[in-house]
Structure 1
Amino acid sequence: MCGICCSVSFSVEHFSKDLKEDLLCNLKRRGPNSSKQLLKTDVNYQCLFSGHVLHLRGVLTAQPMEDERGNVFLWNGEVFSGVMVKAGENDTQIMFNYLSSCKNESDILSVFSEVQGPWSFIYYQASSHYLWFGRDFFGRRSLLWHFSDLGKSFSLSSVGAQISGVANQWQEVPASGIFRIDLKSASTSRLVVLKFYPWKYISGENVITEECVNTLTQIAADLPPFVSVVANEAKLYLKDPVVPLNMMLPPIPSEIDCSTISNTPPTRETFQVFLTNGHMKEVVQQFIDVLSSAVKKRVLCLPRDEPLTPNEVLRTHERKANVAILFSGGIDSMVIATLADRHIPLDEPIDLLNVAFMTKEKIIPASFNKQRGRQKNCKTPAEESSENTAVAADRSDKQFNAPDRITGRAGLKELQVTNPFRIWNFVEINVSLEELQKFRRARICQLVHPLDTVLDDSIGCAVWFASRGTGCLVTPDEVKSYQSSAKVVLTGIGADEQLAGYSRHRVRFQTHGLEGLIKEIKMELGRISSRNLGRDDRVIGDHGKEARFPFLDENVVSFLNSLPVWEKTNLTLPRGIGEKLILRLAAVELGLTASTLLPKRAMQFGSRIAKMENNNEKASDKCGRLQDISLENFSVEKEIKT
């Protein structure tokens, strides 16, 4: 994970040798282990490169990197496969080595076509005055662009910074391909031309072409008049890393009679009906294998302490967690936690981050005031009895008894049964209205931008507080404050989009049948970069942590895309069974119990953030709380810096 930025100026009077303070601050928060700037000047333009590194693999490698020919590279990504990165090597250095050896644009496209994993990058080719940049196929890493008036300058950055009085100054770089700018040409014409290289799927010798004209039109719609986007003349492209979605419809009704399932209360045994089908059982096992491999890559690609010797086993409690999971106790996070447990060393704890927002306070007897204050601060004095501690935890429940807290605790018990030898740190993250409003003004509104809906506000705030990892560990013996040290945060995003987990999938199925459902799933996956992933990367990265998305691993998506829709979901069945059916069957095979039957509950409702402020809002409404309040931000930011 890194914070990367390139600021280009075609005008001496508009050029600054330093980034604006608030932008630099936002970038540094993403990359706390190394910060560096590099200035490249030409008679026609100036480029200021800024790199801020969160060190996770190989030797700490400062960015930006420059080779002997003056090429410059900024990389915010993880190479999980496709390009060879040996143990102990740094993937930034490996990627730069490949790019430095490229002889033409086709070679550059080949490099990025091979990489599997999340990435965004900026690459300056000195000899040709080209600036290349882009995001991976799913847009799992944020990259924004900002073009100033009259084409005198522009910037690319992992995260933006709000400017008072300027609306929509930053926009997300589309994840529909990669881009190239001829800086020398742009400096003389004062017109910025974005040369576009789209993703295309290759099947055998055939290239399946998406409608490029529509894509170009969509990209151009949000650009200022002096910026244009055009297809590259050679019609070069990147290879799609995943197979297309299987659009097949069933020729005959399902072999499984679902009538008995629909008419009985769902139980875990309900799923055994499906698992008696040999083909379905095999498909479920294949899904477990490919998802387990995806989780393995994401929990092992990071530095960790040496394993404990047999004589040191008693010191397991002193170990710090390297991996955290955004954890609601729902089916997505439970399966991820179970698979992470397979691959993370047993002497290493796993942090389960569970966020809840305060409900309206009830009248509390004066005798509890002192104790309640202690619980709010998550501090238990040494002299306090365990009985009083239990009372404190119970008092907290009344304020933070959100649905995700209840299912999270139930999920914790399941995991403890599955592996009682693992230390599972269930981190209760309690957020008051005052704290929510304070940090939204100071931090979160900048990170969610350029997205601006009520839904973006709710999800952005919930994910920011959860991934921060500041909360309490509540055990039968004590309540103590806790700060997660994990640099890697696993999240279940991508499961609902691919497996028809949202209520709108059920509505679509009821109105347009399987054909409509398939189109909805295709649309969901196609827009996930602009709807979710850039925002979540900015929000989680703000804590110097890296978001990793196992359900969006290229092999996982290809496997699920290859299946006919009825092997993934069955929306003729009740909630808690039919949606994400293949994932629920996988959970049963993994030994999970009650969590396999939990219906989908959106994070904004599960955490109760949607109940905090305005209950009458619609998710798609523009959110006034996310409007430009940067002058206020600046003073609040100084107040709360740590």
Structure 2
Amino acid sequence: MCGICCVITLSSQHGLHDSFSKDVLSCLRRRGPDSSQQLIKTVSDLSYKCLFSGQVLHLRGLMTAQPLEDANNNIFLWNGEIFDGVHVGSLENDTEIMFHRLTLCNSESEILSLFSSLRGPWSFIYYQGSSDCLWFGRDYFGRRSLLWQFSNEVERAVCLASVSVYSESDKQWQEVPASGIFKIDLKDCATAKALSLSLFPWKYSCTEKTGEEIFTNVLDQVSKGLPNHILVVANESRLCLTAPVIPLNKTISEALGECQCTNVSNVNNTVSVETLQAFLRVEHKKKLVHQFIDVLSEAVKKRVLALVRDEDEKRRDPPSMSTRKAHVAVLFSGGIDSMLIAALADRHVPMEEPIDLLNVAFTTKEQNKQKCASKKYSDQEVHLDLLSHQESCEVFDAKTTNEFDVPDRITGRAGLKELKVLNSLRTWNFVEINVTVEELKRMRQQRISHLIYPLDTVLDDSIGCAVWFASRGEGFVSNCGELKPYRSSAKVVLTGIGADEQLAGYSRHRVCFKNYGLEGLNKEIEMELDRISSRNLGRDDRIIGDHGKEARFPFLDEDVVSFLNSLPISEKADLTLPRGLGEKLLLRLAAVELGLTASAILPKRAVQFGSRIAKLESNSEKASDKCSRLKSLPTDEV
């Protein structure tokens, strides 16, 4: 994880630091606490100036400060992880590897070929000294944040940064679209005294669309919202990047559900583990589940092993389990997505190393506390009849409930029990992160709102706040029955985002299926991944990165996405089945096969409801409404 920033100005009157405030630098430094430096490049004969700023969170190989510069005036800023496609040795740093590979490229097509080969999240800024060109962009899914801001026609400047700061008086920042990579010919722009961007879009290698159709569609999308004086054009050679995943299989089987219904008819499609076990007695289904587990397990493995571990800890003899620190954490609600990730992480994280399970809860409003306690969470949303009677009584004992016993806390504790059964030798740090209304308001104003920006809806606020407090990792862990203060040391945070989008996990998928059938559901699933960069990933990267930690997304591993894209929708979900069973069916079957039971049939519960942050605000708000709490905030405390 790194904080990267570049300011380009074509105007001698416009200073580089005018677009690079101390507040932005503070945000960038929190993303990269291990190194921070700047480099200024002035090309006097062409009248343009560049400022490059790099902040580094050291995770792999030798510590490598940014920006990198070579003897040929090439400059490189990298915020990414290479998990495959380009070889990175265990002691090597991927920033240096990428810079070296880029400097060997002699043409645009070679640069595109290099980025097309990468597997893993990335954003980058590359100044090519020999051609006076600036290249930049985000990976296919947009898993790393990159924003841009354009000044007016007189100032003629552009700023690129991993994160920004909201100000009412400031020019609007926007997320750089994850539509491809961009190139600015600074020599041409300086001569014309105008900014123009060339786009190199993504396309499937086997796409049926012609090149011109791709460019027309993408250029229209990218240009929306940009100032009128900023021109985005197709690159002259009409070159494209090759998408790292295969297209979605939209096949709809005529015999949908025949074998499934036959095998589960004896349990009446009830929401139970027995129903899922009946599916697993189908040989084809069981084989498919094992293939899914294998590809997802490999994705988790890459993400928990690709980081530097303390050599002193490795050499300690004998190892002290109680003093080991966690290097990997999971955003953990006890739901099916986080349970599966935690169970697979357990396969690959060294046994002597703890895994932190980060579970966040927000206190309810004063007037709701008594009401919530009296309900004992018996409503359908959080009812856990899937637990044994003894466990259910223990979890819902009124004596143990308090203002932070929100739905996700309850399912989280139940999930912890399941994980301990899977591996009792592992130290599972269940971190209870409790957030009061006062702290929520304070930190939203000081930090979180600026990280969510430029997104601005009620949903962004709820999810952004929940993820920020969860990933900070400050809470309590149980030690011999006593809760003690704890702060997670893990630099890698695994999150389950991408599962619902690909496996029909949202309630809107059921609505779509009811209204438009499988064909409509396929279109919705396809749209989910197309927009995930702008709806979720840039925001979550900025939020988690603010703690000097790196978000990693196993469900968005390229091999996982390609595997799921290869399957017809009927193999991934069956929305004719009840809630808690039909959505994310393939995921639930994988959970049962791994030995998880209670969590395998938990219905989807969004973090804003499970953590109860949504209960703290106005009940009349809609998720898509502009959030007034994210506006008119001071920047001097950032």
TM-score by length of 1: 0.91
8 Å CA contact 1:11, 1:153 repeated in 2: yes
Name 1:53's counterpart in structure 2: 56
| Contact kept? 1:165, 1:628, Cα under 8 Å | no
Equivalent position of 2:194 in the other structure: 191
Counterpart in the other structure of 1:251: 254
Indicate the SS of the match to 2:251. coil
Residue 318 of structure 2: aligned partner: 312
Structure 1 position 561, deviation (Å): 0.1
1:490 counterpart residue number: 494
Q: Which residue of 2 aligns with 1:572?
A: 576
**Alignment partner, residue 339 of structure 2:** 334
Preserved CA contact (<8 Å) 1:429 1:471: yes
TM alignment of 1:230-309, pairs within 5 A: 230-254=233-257, 255-257=259-261, 260=265, 263=268, 265-306=270-311
Q: Secondary structure at the match of 1:5?
A: strand
2:80 corresponds to 1:77: yes
Q: Post-superposition shift, 1:15? A: 1.3
Taking a change above 3 Å as real, the CA distance of residues 299 and 261 of structure 1, as seen in their structure-2 partners, is: farther
363 and 618 in structure 1: CA distance in 2 versus 1, 3 angstrom threshold: closer
Between the aligned partners of 1:245 and 1:363, the Cα distance in structure 2 is 45
| 1:527 Cα offset (Å) | 0.3
Q: How does 1:370-449 map to 2 (within 5 A)?
A: 397-449=401-453
User: How far off is 1:362 after superposition?
Assistant: 6.6
Q: Mapping of 1:436-515 within 5 angstroms?
A: 436-515=440-519
Deviations 1:571-600 (Å, cap 9, x if unpaired)? 000011100000000001101010001000
Measure the CA separation in 2 of the matches of 1:253 and 1:159: 46
Output the CA distance in 2 between the equivalents of 1:40 and 1:273. Answer: 65
Matches within 5 A, 1:11-410: 11-16=11-16, 19-43=20-44, 44-150=47-153, 152-166=156-170, 169-203=172-206, 211-254=214-257, 255-257=259-261, 260=265, 263=268, 265-306=270-311, 312-313=318-319, 315-361=320-366, 397-410=401-414
RMSD of Structure 2 on Structure 1 (CA): 2.1
Check whether the contact 1:200–1:207 (CA below 8 A) recurs between aligned residues: no
What SS is found at the alignment partner of 1:527?
helix
Q: Tell me the alpha carbon deviations over residues 45-78 of structure 1, each in whole angstroms, 9 at most, x when there is no partner.
A: 1000000000000000000000110000000000
Change in Cα spacing, 1:341 to 1:47, as seen in structure 2 (3 Å) is same
User: 2: CA distance between counterparts of 1:253 and 1:155?
Assistant: 52
Aligned to 1:312, what secondary structure does the other structure show? Answer: coil
Matched to 2:615, the amino acid is: K
Distance in 1, Cα, partners of 2:619 & 2:103 = 54
- Farther off after superposition, 199-208 or 428-437: 199-208
Q: 1:263 to 1:94 in 2, by over 3 A?
A: same
CA distance in 2, matches of 1:363, 1:62: 50
2: CA distance, partners of 1:426 / 1:593: 19
Cα shift at 1:311? 5.0
Asked if 1 retains the 8 angstrom alpha-carbon contact of 2:23 and 2:635, the reply is no
Match of 1:373 in 2: none
Mark the CA change 1:311 to 1:102 in structure 2 (over 3 Å): closer, same or farther: closer
Whole-angstrom CA distance in 1 between matches of 2:266 and 2:459: 34
**3-state SS in 2 of match to 1:293:** helix
Instruction: Check if 1:620 corresponds to 2:621.
Output: no
Is the Cα–Cα contact under 8 Å of residues 28 and 163 in structure 2 kept in the other structure?
yes
CA distance in 2, matches of 1:617, 1:79: 41
Question: Could you tell me how far apart the structure 2 residues matched to 1:396 and 1:108 are?
Answer: 59
Alpha-carbon separation, structure 2, partners of 1:216 and 1:53: 33
Structure 1 pair 586–208 and aligned structure 2 pair: CA distance change class (3 A): farther
2:156–2:194 Cα contact (<8 Å) kept: no
Shift of residue 17, structure 1, vs aligned partner: 5.1
The match for 2:590 among 583, 586, 590 is 586
1:8 offset after TM fit, Å?
Answer: 0.8
Partner of 1:384: none
Task: Sort the Cα spacing of 1:310 and 1:448 in 2 relative to 1 into closer, same or farther, 3 A.
Answer: closer
C-alpha distance after superposition, 1:473-495 (max 9, x if no partner): 13453111110010000000000
Partner amino acid, structure 1, of 2:318: E
C-alpha displacement at 1:204, in angstroms?
A: 10
The structural deviation recorded for 1:200 is: 1.1
1:372-411 Cα offsets, whole Å, 9 max, x none, are: xxxxxxxxxxxxxxxxxx9xx9888421111000000000
Alignment check: 8 A CA contact 2:269 2:577 kept: no
Give the counterpart letter for 1:435 in structure 2.
Answer: E
Alignment partner of 1:526 is 2:530:
yes
Using the TM superposition, give the Cα deviation of residue 210 of structure 1 relative to its aligned residue in structure 2, in angstroms: 5.9
Equivalent position SS for 2:261: coil
Cα deviation for residue 211 of structure 1 reads: 3.1
SS of 1:142 mapped into structure 2: coil
Alignment-mate amino acid for residue 275 of structure 2: T
Q: Distance in 1 between matches of 2:399 and 2:189?
A: 63
1:208 shift after superposition:
8.3
The residue correspondences of 1:589-608 to structure 2 (distance < 5 A) are: 589-608=593-612
Q: What SS does the corresponding residue of 1:507 show, helix, strand or coil? A: helix
- Spell out, residue by residue over 1:155-197, the C-alpha distance to the aligned partner (whole angstroms, 9 max, x if none): 0000012233236x11000001000001122123232111000
* CA contact 1:308–1:347 (8 Å) conserved in 2: no
Distance of aligned partners of 1:427 and 1:394 in 2 relative to their CA distance in 1, 3 Å threshold: farther
Please give the alpha-carbon distance, in whole angstroms, between the structure 2 residues aligned to 1:571 and 1:265.
13
- TM-aligned CA deviation for residue 207 of structure 1: 7.7
Deviates more, 1:556-565 or 1:187-196: 187-196
CA distance change for structure 1 residues 204 and 22 in 2, over 3 Å: closer, same or farther?
A: closer
Number of the residue aligned with 2:391: none
CA contact (8 A) 2:2 2:78 kept: yes
Relative to structure 1, is the Cα distance of residues 262 and 605 closer, same or farther in structure 2, using a 3 angstrom cutoff? farther
Distance in 2 (CA, whole Å) between partners of 1:613 and 1:575 is: 27
Range with bigger deviation, 138-147 or 225-234 = 225-234
Change (3 A) 1:273 1:463: same
Q: Which amino acid aligns with 1:266?
A: V
Deviations 1:74-132 (A, max 9, x none): 00000000001011000000000000011011111111001100000000011211000
3-state SS of the aligned residue for 2:366? Answer: coil
**TM-score, length-normalised on structure 2?**
0.92
Percent identity, please.
Answer: 62
- CA 1:17–1:506: 2 relative to 1, 3 Å: closer
Matched residue, 1:535: 539
Structure 1 residues 149 and 394: CA distance shift in structure 2, 3 A: farther
Query: Helix, strand or coil for the counterpart of 2:296?
Result: helix
C-alpha spacing 1:468/1:511, structure 2 compared with 1 (3 Å): same
Distance between the aligned counterparts of 1:553 and 1:398, measured in 2? 38
CA distance, structure 1, for counterparts of residue 417 and residue 215 of structure 2: 50
Please list the CA deviations of residues 548-579 of structure 1 after superposition, one character each: whole Å capped at 9, or x if unmatched: 00000000000000001100000000011100
